[in-house]
Structure 1
Amino acid sequence: MNTHIETGKRGLTTFDLKVLGITFMFIDHIHEMFALMGAPSWLDWFGRPVATLFFFISVEGFTHTRNKERYLKQLWLGFIVMNIGNYLVQHFFSLGNMGLMNNIFTDLFIAVLSMYGIELIKNGHKEKAFGKIIQGILCIVLPLVMSALVFMLMTNGSTMTPALILGYLFPTTLLAENSIMIYLATVLYLLRNNRLLQCLAIAIVSALYAGLDIQGMFTTNIQWMMVFAIVPILLYNGQKGKGMKQFFYLFYPAHIWLLYIIASVIYNHLY
């Protein structure tokens, strides 16, 4: 039974979800960049639902886009640009021993690639096209295979450079910010016609995280707070809302680099 919430004027649009996501993400990254200077750890709480919220948005984006290949290409280009920018920013600025590893495009690319793979498998089965099924399987497993290859190369000093180049050119699951949790997006895609089941899946993953360290649920183990993404997801009305897609693509790297540079200047001046 389809329990997808009906579209209407009330509720949150995709645009609203994105604004909410980048707002919480910005607060979270203030803590990340200024933690060495005493930024309170509770600021990090705001960021825990963000990845889950963007996974949900990526499902909506992939489902409704007319050109799925272009969607993937844009995410891959974002991944490349972010890697280059991170390298350049760290070349000219430093923030203690903190490395600049942020790249949500890695997670989103792998998430959307898995959705694309599922669609290829489905279409291949329907059309009895074995080649499409193979392509679909490769789309799903390739980021995992590349992860294993990169880690294998990194264990040998003589192959460290090829490992880094490979990691900079192709998104790999185990080097992504959310690692295996990326595939929550795949689950949300499979459940895309049932909003309540999507929320249940999020709650289950959140409960699993909470169970890892119940005593540290507000200190060392806060990933369970991803469950709060359920609130805006339930309020989502299925409408796109305003555009400004390019703004969101630009905001992510711009705010990361700007916060890192500001924090670097302040930290190195004070310490």
Structure 2
Amino acid sequence: MRFNAYQLKLFAMALMLLDHIHAFIPGSPDWFHWLGRIAAPIFFFFLVEGFVYTRSREKYMLRMLIFTIIMAAGSDALVLLLPGGSIPNNIFLSMFAALMLMTTLDWVRQSRQYVTGSTLSILLSIVMVFFVEFSWLAVSMTLVFYVFRGRTAALVIGYVISSLLLTLGPYALMPDAATKWTYDELFILHPQWMMIAAVVPILLYNGSRGSSSKRTKYMFYLFYPIHIWLLYVVGYIDFDRGSL
């Protein structure tokens, strides 16, 4: 059984919802967070697909920038209204930066300005590491899905290796590395390595877009901020009741 882009995005949205329930609602099961590790890679995979197939990359980037600003402004306003928590989430910013990185790489390929293009790409990657959600993983997912697009085996190998290196690799460099391979470390504190499971739904992609109406086009753009803001409010209310 294989699935189109619309179906896989719905699947990723469901996993993302579970992940954010775990983030904002105290007492939520840890496996919500485990499943949530699969969501972002699926969205980045389809970000690359959208970059390749969109009629206007400029409009695509502008739309992502607009929702980046909306998400940031709305989150800041909500935290000011209901202080005590934080909303660090803004995948739109990560995706906007990823689009800029792919645009730069595409320009290098066409213009063959390798020195200038490589310098810009490296600088942009460094900015992403320090300023966007997912940090190094945002860079690696973008590069793997873009560079190896259409080459399934290379994409899977590149994705799995880069993901494991960036999530579990640092443990090997620590002086107390032997103490890091525990259940608490791998499944409670740092379960990001579970993102490698995203290769399964990605491999089940049938190459079809699925639904293409305007309603479904903006579904993710609207669902992402609304569900995070609602969960923040619910978590705030629960915490306030618990403190009484």
- TM-score above 0.5, yes or no: yes
Answer yes or no: is the 8 Å Cα contact 2:48–2:146 preserved in 1: yes
Q: Does 1:140 align with 2:121?
A: yes
Aligned equivalents of 1:137 and 1:86: distance in 2? 34
Aligned equivalents of 1:143 and 1:54: distance in 2? 20
Which residue identity is paired with 1:178? F
Task: Choose which of 177, 190, 198 in structure 1 pairs with 2:147.
Answer: 190
Aligned equivalents of 2:203 and 2:55: distance in 1? 25
**Offset of residue 139 of structure 1:** 5.5
Q: CA RMSD in A?
A: 2.0
**Offset of residue 85 of structure 1:** 0.5
Task: Choose which of 87, 92, 99 in structure 2 pairs with 1:112.
Answer: 99
Answer yes or no: is the 8 Å Cα contact 2:101–2:124 preserved in 1: no
Aligned equivalents of 2:69 and 2:99: distance in 1? 16
Task: Choose which of 246, 261, 269 in structure 1 pairs with 2:218.
Answer: 246
Answer yes or no: is the 8 Å Cα contact 1:117–1:138 preserved in 2: no
Which residue identity is paired with 1:118? L
Task: Choose which of 162, 186, 194 in structure 2 pairs with 1:205.
Answer: 162
**Offset of residue 40 of structure 1:** 2.5
**Offset of residue 140 of structure 1:** 2.6
Cα 1:102–1:249 shift into 2, 3 Å: same
Aligned equivalents of 1:104 and 1:81: distance in 2? 12
Q: Deviations over 1:78-132 (max 9, x none)?
A: 11111100111111113x4x3111000111111111111111111112xxxx5x9
Alignment partner of 1:218: what SS? helix
Which residue identity is paired with 2:145? L
- Mean Cα deviation higher: 22-31 or 261-270: 261-270
**Offset of residue 174 of structure 1:** 1.1
Answer yes or no: is the 8 Å Cα contact 1:11–1:236 preserved in 2: yes
Q: Does 1:17 align with 2:8?
A: yes
Q: Does 1:223 align with 2:162?
A: no
**Offset of residue 77 of structure 1:** 0.9
Aligned equivalents of 1:267 and 1:241: distance in 2? 41
Alignment partner of 1:81: what SS? helix
Task: Choose which of 190, 201, 218 in structure 2 pairs with 1:232.
Answer: 201
Which residue identity is paired with 1:140? S
Task: Choose which of 153, 162, 181 in structure 2 pairs with 1:214.
Answer: 181
Q: Does 1:262 align with 2:234?
A: yes
Q: Does 1:92 align with 2:110?
A: no
Task: Choose which of 23, 31, 40 in structure 2 pairs with 1:32.
Answer: 23
Answer yes or no: is the 8 Å Cα contact 1:79–1:103 preserved in 2: yes
Partner of 2:174: none
What is the aligned residue count? 227
Given the two structures, how large is their TM-score scaled by the length of structure 1?
Answer: 0.78
Q: Deviations over 1:171-220 (max 9, x none)?
A: x5412120111112122101002022111112112332234343222222
- Equivalent residue runs for 1:62-81 within 5 Å: 62-81=51-70
Partner of 1:168: none
**What is the percentage of aligned positions where both structures have the same residue?**
33
Aligned equivalents of 1:210 and 1:84: distance in 2? 34
Task: Choose which of 140, 160, 174 in structure 1 pairs with 2:130.
Answer: 174
**Offset of residue 265 of structure 1:** 1.7
Cα 1:266–1:92 shift into 2, 3 Å: same
Long gaps (5+) in structure 1: 1-9, 148-171
Which residue identity is paired with 2:131? L
**Offset of residue 41 of structure 1:** 2.4
Aligned equivalents of 1:71 and 1:260: distance in 2? 28
**Offset of residue 22 of structure 1:** 0.8
Q: Deviations over 1:214-248 (max 9, x none)?
A: 32222222111001100101100111001211111
Q: Does 1:50 align with 2:31?
A: no
